[in-house]
Amino acid sequence: EPEVTQTPSHQVTQMGQEVILRCVPISNHLYFYWYRQILGQKVEFLVSFYNNEISEKSEIFDDQFSVERPDGSNFTLKIRSTKLEDSAMYFCASSDRTAGDYEQYFGPGTRLTVT
């Protein structure tokens, strides 16, 4: 069964450093998303991406964040200068408009720890 994959599974970084989280969406999907979940809190939407551009972004997704689809398979989230409060689980998801109500399938996540 096709699945979304993410690397790394855990990333530890120092405050102020740049991090890039990587995702490989399901191969025939066209819509890509990033969500995050701070420990003990609910899953929050960050950004959606379609046709090589951002479709929607949340208030969390400020100038420190960017997304990119550098090739035909990868989808990345970059945080330019990490803050302590960026520590969270980051989930990538993808969907295909032909799959019911745009059902989104999530990757296993990257746990980001900012020290």
- Applying CB under 8 A, which residues contact other proteins? 31, 33, 35, 41-45, 47-48, 55-58, 89, 91, 93, 95, 100-109, 111
Q: Count the Cβ atoms, other than its own, within 10 Å of residue 30.
A: 14
Beta strand 65-68 with 53-57: parallel, antiparallel or unpaired? Answer: unpaired
Count of helices and strands (H, E) across the chain? 0, 11
What are the DSSP calls for 70-98, one per residue?
-SSS-EEEEESS--GGG-EEEEEEEE-TT
Q: In this complex, which beta carbon is closest to other proteins, that of residue 14 or of residue 42?
A: 42
Q: Which is nearer to other proteins, 20 or 99 (CB)?
A: 99
Question: Smallest gap, in angstroms, from Cβ of residue 62 to other proteins?
Answer: 16
Q: Which residue's CB is nearer to other proteins, number 12 or number 43?
A: 43
State in angstroms the smallest separation of the CB of 102 from other proteins.
5
State the minimum distance, in angstroms, from the CB of residue 37 to other proteins.
Answer: 9
What's the min distance (Å) between Cβ of 53 and other proteins? 11
Radius of gyration from C-alpha coordinates of the chain: 13
